[in-house]
Amino acid sequence: MNLLLYLFLLIVSGSAFPKYYNKQSTQQSCGYSNCPSADPNVLNVHIVPHTHDDVGWLKTVDQYYYGARNYIQKAGVQYILDSVIEALLENPKRRFIYVETAFLWKWWQENSAENRDKLKYLVNNGQLEIVGGGWSMNDEAASHYQSIIDQFTWGFRKLEDTLGKCACPKIGWQIDPFGHSRETASLFSQFGFDGLFFARLDYRDRLSRLHNKTAEMLWQGSQSLGPSSQLFTSILYNHYSAPPGFCFDVLCSDDSIVENQNSPEYNAERKARAFLSFVKQQASYYKTNNIIITMGDDFHYQDALYYFKNLDKLISAVNKLQTKTKVFYSSPSCYIKALNEANQRWSVKTDDFFPYASDAHAYWTGYYTSRPTSKRFERIGNNFLQVSKQLAALTGLEDSVAGLDPLREAMGVMQHHDAITGTEKQHVADDYARIISEALDSASVGTTAALRKLQEIPEVNMHSCLLMNISQCYWTDDDFGNLMSITVYNPLSRPVSHYVRIPLQNPQENYFIDAEYQIVPIFERILNIPGRTSKARAELVFKAESIPALGFKTYSLKSSRSRPSFSNKDVELQFYNSGHLKSALLGGQEVPLSQNFLYYRSANGNNVIASNRSSGAYVFRPQKQYASNVTRNVKTVKYIGPLVEEYHQTFNDWIGQVIRKYKDEDYVEFQWIVGPIPVEDEIGKEIITRFTSDIKSKGVFFTDSNGREMIKRVRGHRDTFNLTHEEPVSENYYPVTSKILIKDESTGMKMAVLNDRAQGGSSLHDGQIELMVHRRLLNDDWFGVAEALNEKAFGVGLVATGKHYVIAGNSQNTGGKSIVAKEKELAQKISLEPWVFFNSRVDNLFDYRVKNSVRINFSGVSQSLPSNVQILTLEPWSNNVLLLRLEHFYEKDEDPLLSSSVTVNIKQLFTDFDIIQVEEMSLGGNQFISEVDKLKWKAECDELDENTVAVNNVTNNAFEIQLSPMQIKTFLITIDRYI
């Protein structure tokens, strides 16, 4: 009978949608006004149904979305979205939240207009709320702030383009990353978020905060930015899972709720009272009469009706008990609104939540370094994304714009907390590499088109060489005849000089290039890297001088009959008889500096109890609390020339290094080559490089937060809880995204080490800095990936190579450029390195340039920016509209001159177009700054406001942009191109 009635209604109405669903409705009832009313006189229990959908982990992105390879994990995101939509349409009281735009976008592309309308309807009426909204739920230790901003910007853009304004997120939802950075709080606040939720923090910190009722707080993301970086933060009580016994997903085994009292399985009242017991216990640890209960977990709601039907029954059963408890469907934003209306004062946090320890022997500090080559590939991807976006914006070519999306999306995927972290299965890591590689190819088509236009040259191709770290380039490997064209593009906002290295087959041949050059042999360890196929045996090094900002210089390299003669540069590095570095001449001062490689033997346990924890993809746990030297003596061979002095060092048969000191540079470069790490002794090993100075650092060191502000670290100490010392090495490891430093407060002497990818690092002894460069393990740590971190390539253990840059000087010197300024400029050059394009096999190109006045120099900006400001983002947005971000990249009181506010006129900032309209946006580019209306919170004391600086700088001229220290301003600019 019910089936006949259903069919009758379907025939009459033409639809099986619920009566309240109006397909044509455009009415929007999302936002705080649509929140359920909390009762101030009872305990309000906010039920938040959710799913946590990893953008790759045990399965690849596509395997997770389509539900492939379920023998690995039963998970199919498309079924979750389909099922949730139908379950929400069935009952208007039900609510759900969703996070990952990467999966939403896949669903949107593959679904019908009718299904899309259903989703839009649910977003517009507030039943389905988007939280987070980035392309993925990003990691907070290894991700660079530029990539975090980009992946949220692209997620926000897709949400607005498809689902409209009601899809604009108001809440950060970082429930699974393995520790949380202060910069995240700052960025999220500038996105316009009203709150942040997360689950993972040190187990002792969690217990202390619950005991003191400080699990909810105001997090001050930046001492420089003041209130604009303040973010209300809530730590979830039960991880992000349902309470024990109340997981109603098909993946769980908890009993369903039976309301029929005549059934022998009746359990509704018993389940309701058990639930009440749990929520009352939770409420005892929080300050208000509102608590949030997450109902969901990894890839839950593939059969949403099953879950929701039980939640309906649970809510009804609890509310029938009339125990001064009100249970209702809600959302994180509605919960935040209720807390805000409670008018409480909240404690203030000013540091971060690193490192994360889940027990006394499980410090999640290994993933700071895990899969070092993947971490470097991600950084290369960001470098090229910025180059590609800038060139597309400067030229406006459709070909240049079209190739950006795959790279934007690939970089969004790579920020995921199981991607850049290196905590995924090996086949997933391989797929991530495929995604980046294909995206780079796509964007390369656009960069070639843009450079053709800017250089005004015929149909030639510009090629990138992604294997220059092993001195391999297809375009220079064969005999390139009489001519090679080399275009060096600078994505930074100031002119920079850059040493270009070109692999050569014939180092004995003579060459001509319009720059001073030097030929240096390629290090033997690099020549023998497994998988290297290049015939090159030497590199030609030349200095590309003063490459224009957002611009390029083009050089021609050709064979020559005569070799020019150069004098050698002065020697600036000194070595011990053992072959180890002894000192370096930096900034005109000889600095005691030694360096060595060591390794920790990895703990190998059965993981059954905490004290038997193994070192794994997530956890770094050494067997002993000291590192062993790899050798006492180092074979060192030196090569001195006019541009660079190089020292090729062989430590053993699996560790080598090249130390370089370039002419007129204030840093020493260390290129390390590590692997295959031997494991024949069945012991995993974790390799570190350690730099030793005579700096009296007194147990203090500093690490960067996602590549921006520095955070003070005190060895063996935490500000907010008492630290026990079961693991004295790993407890002092912190994420180093771009820089770690030590300094002597009495003399002002400081030393910084900058890296080319995220790594774990520490200062375990005064005057020392160590960074972990590579890991090869034989055991899993039992935190989910179920696979040992034993990377292989070409049939042997993985060989990794990378670079560190050491800079030192006195911070108290008042003359010339400060040591802080030198560090800042070097960090920018490492993060956004000038990109080298090659064009060989075009023998007539040189003659063409002579005859046709080809551009060999170009700058995208027509005026110099202040020394403390950079163009963080320049990218196409829509027809004649670009997205522009300007960043003041100095902290408050960091530099005597450059830590001051500054004004920039952008009206005619760019060379090839005029700016005719400026609209300031939130950091994510999805809200006009005038429309951002954040909730206001009260701190327990006035310290938050007294020690910070307001940054709502406004000038009367829309083209006059005022920036305070650490401030990023985002604009949509309408342009008029000159050509």
Neighbours of 697 (CB within 10 A): 23
How far CA 473 is from CA of 296, 329, 514, 527, 924, in Å, comes to 49, 58, 21, 13, 37
* C-alpha dihedral, 587 to 589 to 590 to 596, nearest 10°: -40
In this structure, are residues 842 and 462 in contact, taking their beta carbons and an 8 Å threshold? no
> Helix, strand, or coil here: 709?
coil
E strand segments, 732-784: 734-736, 739-743, 749-755, 759-762, 768-776
Q: Which residue has the tokens 């459709």?
A: 398
Q: What is the 3-state secondary structure (H, E, C) of 599-629?
A: EEEECCCCCCCHHHCCCCCCCCCECCCCCEE
- Residues whose CB falls within 8 Å of the CB of residue 536, separated by 6 or more in sequence, listed in order: 471, 472, 473, 476, 477, 503, 504, 505, 522
Phi/psi of residue 65, each to 5°? -65, -50
Q: Which residue has the tokens 């900034």?
A: 587
What is residue 694's DSSP assignment?
A: -
Angstrom distance (rounded) from CA 142 to CA 369: 8
Paired residues of 750 in beta bridges: 743, 809
Angstrom distance (rounded) from CA 533 to CA 62: 32
Tokens of residue 142, six digits:
């290894």
In this structure, are residues 573 and 656 in contact, taking their beta carbons and an 8 Å threshold? no
Angstrom distance (rounded) from CA 831 to CA 834: 10
Neighbours of 78 (CB within 10 A): 17
Active site (catalytic) residues: 176
Tokens of residue 376, six digits:
């470097």
Angstrom distance (rounded) from CA 696 to CA 744: 5
> Helix, strand, or coil here: 451?
helix
In this structure, are residues 890 and 822 in contact, taking their beta carbons and an 8 Å threshold? no
Candidates 182, 177, 172, 141; CA nearest to 351 is 182
> What sign results for the dihedral spanned by CA atoms 510, 515, 519, 525?
negative
Neighbours of 514 (CB within 10 A): 12
Candidates 772, 745, 561; CA nearest to 685 is 772
Q: What single-letter amino acid sits at 3? A: L
CA geometry: angle 284, 289, 293, nearest 5 deg: 75
45 burial via Cβ count (<10 Å: 0-12, 13-18, 19+): buried
- Residues whose CB falls within 8 Å of the CB of residue 924, separated by 6 or more in sequence, listed in order: 149, 152, 153, 156, 191, 192, 970
Paired residues of 700 in beta bridges: 714
Angstrom distance (rounded) from CA 711 to CA 525: 36
Tokens of residue 479, six digits:
């005999």
- Residues whose CB falls within 8 Å of the CB of residue 575, separated by 6 or more in sequence, listed in order: 581, 582, 636, 647
**Which of 389-418 are b and which e, b meaning 16 or more Cβ less than 10 Å from the residue's Cβ?**
bbbbbbbbbebbbbbbebbbbbbbbbbbbb
